[in-house]
Amino acid sequence: MVKFQKKKITYEILKSFPIILLFVSVLNELDLNYLNFKYFSFNFPFILVFYFSLKKSDSLGYGFIFIAGLFNDAVNGLPIGLSSLSYLLVCGFAAYLRNITLRPDLIKDWLFFLMTICVTNSLIYFLIVVFFKVNLNYLDYIFNILFTFLFYIIFAYFFDIYQRFVFKKEND
Amino acid sequence: MQPSRDDFVIAIRSAFLSKSAQQRFSLLLLIFFSLVLISLSKFNFKGIDYIRMSFKEVAYRSSFIVSIPEKYIKIGYYSLMDHLQLYKNYQETKLELEILKSKELNNKYIIAENLRLKETIEEIKFSTEDIYAKVLLDKNSPFLKSFIINKGSRQKIKLGMAVLNKGYLVGKVVEVNFLTSRVLLLTDLNSKIPVNIEPGAIQSIMSGTGSDNGKIQYFKDQKNISEENIVYTSGAGGVFKSGIPIGKIELDENKNIQVNFFTDFSQLRYVKISLYEALN
């Protein structure tokens, strides 16, 4: 009985892994900025939110994503609501792709992810610069998009392994 | 088969409006709520200011706890780098020490002379209130150069206070919460500080570049400025006391004037926050 309960708790923790990872990443900003590589930065929450909204939509609740965005804004000093909006837009794009996809293909997902982050980041850039009148380095944003796009395929590989390990199946 | 316009509309509607069994909120509702929050942030709606402030307190404290493992990795990385450069640093420090020793004697004389002259011309004297704070979060984000300290309005931190590290200016307080505050670094694109370039007493404005150095703006003749000139706060505008050292002038390949800061902003652990007030 105790063994069964322990197994259940472990499974629940493993099942909640995407949510835990999302909150750790927004609170801790897993972006290796301290390496001080010029222009190097990437948006890990975008990768996480897009992947799990696309492949396992019940892993991340929209409410949690919204709250994670608020935490990210507080930590980064952005106007409250901006990151939530961007994460939810990424969710929307992923949900749209899930609805129109019959045969999933990693490369197509990857290219759609590029389009998603380009649109979302453009909107956020516009809101920050025009609406809030804060200066931002455009080049930093471009490189952030580029590295986020490049890292997607690597993280997608690891998330696939996680899914196979926990849910014993590919995806939705 | 070509997807028709109807298919597109159905897919969009399904993605944004319908909520699956596992989701408690619809995506469109939350997007709408985010837009409301953004608008309230823009127009500084008073009612949500307190909620926002308490939310930030929770976020900063949780972020501090969550960042602990990464902080250790970061410290390990820097100490490894320091070890690798130990011999080179030793040689450079030895040379610097010799030069500093000879300069120190001159400085003592100049400081004494300066104090005497200031008394003669009755220049305003400043009283300084110092508060020491620990850096809670330093994300080194490429988009916003700032960090969070563990002192807030409870410890009498006020907006615009100067933040120093080992006597060098590093930034100013731009956001004050009850127990925490945010410091905008000199390197941030939105940082603008009135400065004095010595020798020559050239008045100018230094702004951040978003990278590791600063930029000098608004001056008449570039010829008067050369490498190794030192940048100090000018005290214009009354935000900071004059004469706080900031950095050294450097010219890049295109002869653009840049400021190489004395402080390494990635290594800040403890800072001093000072409020300068003129004595009558």
Say how many domains are in chain B: 1
Nearest to A134 by CA among A86, A69, A82, A92: A82
Q: Which domain, by its residues, includes A114?
A: 2-167
Answer yes or no: do A27 and B55 touch at CB < 8 A: no
| pLDDT tens, residue by residue, A48-78 | 999 988 888 777 888 889 988 888 888 877 8
The CA distance from B47 to B8, in Å, is 40
Residues B59, A75 contacting (CB under 8 angstroms): yes
- Tokens 């020491």 identify what position? B132
Q: Determine, yes or no, domain membership for A91.
A: yes
Task: Give A116's pLDDT tier (boundaries 50, 70, 90).
Answer: very high
Is residue B168 a part of any domain in this protein? yes
Distance CA A162, CA B171 (A): 43
CATH number at residue B246: 2.40.10.340
Contact A28 B211 (CB under 8 A): no
We report the CATH number of the domain holding residue A124 as: 1.10.1760
* Domain presence at residue A74: yes
Report if residue B228 sits inside a domain: yes
Residue B49 within any structural domain of the chain: no
Interface-testing mutation among A19, A23, A34, with chain B (most B C-beta atoms within 10 A): A34
Task: Look at residues B264, B272, B266 and name the one whose alpha carbon lies nearest to residue B247.
Answer: B264
Would an 8 Å CB–CB cutoff place B213 in contact with chain A? no
Quote the percentage of chain A above a pLDDT of 90.
14
Instruction: Confirm or reject contact between A62 and chain B (CB < 8 A).
Output: yes
| Residue numbers of the domain that contains B259 | 126-280
Q: Are B74 and A34 a contacting pair at CB < 8 A?
A: yes
| Phi-psi category of residue A32: left, alpha or beta, with phi > 0 → left and psi -120 to 50 → alpha | left
Per the domain annotation, does B118 fall within a domain?
A: no
Place of tokens 């509702």: B29
Assigned domain for A147 exists = yes
Residues of B in contact with A99 (CB under 8 A): 10-11, 14-15
What lies within 8 Å, CB to CB, of A70 at 6+ separation is A80, A81, A83, A84, B37, B55, B59
- Cβ proximity of B275 and B161 under 8 Å: yes
On whether residue B238 sits in a domain, the answer given is: yes
Q: Tokens in use for A42?
A: 């990437």
Residue A172 lies in a domain: no
Give, for A122, the enclosing helix (H) or strand (E): helix A106-126
Strands B202-208 and B192-198: antiparallel
pLDDT in tens, A70-109: 888 888 778 888 889 999 999 888 988 888 877 888 888 8
Give the Cα separation of A158 and A107 in Å (integer): 16
Considering the domain boundaries, does residue B258 fall inside one?
Answer: yes
Count structural domains, chain A.
Answer: 1
Between residues A117 and B115, the one the model is more confident about: A117
- B15 lies in some domain: no
Number of cross-chain residue pairs from A and B with Cβ atoms under 8 Å apart: 155
Measured between CA atoms, how close is B14 to chain A, in angstroms?
8
pTM value is 0.67
On whether the CB atoms of residues A52 and A60 are closer than 8 A, the answer is yes
CA dihedral (A36, B211, B276, B125) in degrees, to 10, reads 110
ipTM: 0.79
Kindly give the interhelix angle for A44-55 and A17-28, rounded to the nearest 10 degrees: 160
Q: What is the 3-state secondary structure (H, E, C) of B179-195?
A: CCEEEEECCCCCCEEEE
What span, in angstroms and rounded, lies between the C-alpha atoms of B246 and B208? Answer: 12
Contact A136, A128 (CB under 8 A): yes
Evaluate whether residue B191 is within a structural domain. Answer: yes
User: Phi then psi for B54, rounded to 5 degrees?
Assistant: -70, -35
Reported as type and span, the H/E element at residue B148 is strand B146-149
The answer to whether residue A4 scores a pLDDT higher than 70 is no
User: Is the CB of A100 less than 8 angstroms away from the CB of B7?
Assistant: yes
Helix (H) / strand (E) element for B132: namely strand B126-137
Binned average pLDDT, 10 residues per bin, chain B of 280 residues: 63 66 72 84 72 77 79 82 85 88 80 75 63 77 76 83 85 86 85 81 81 76 73 76 82 79 81 70
> Would you say residue A26 lies in a domain?
yes
Residues B9, B21: Cα–Cα separation, whole Å: 21
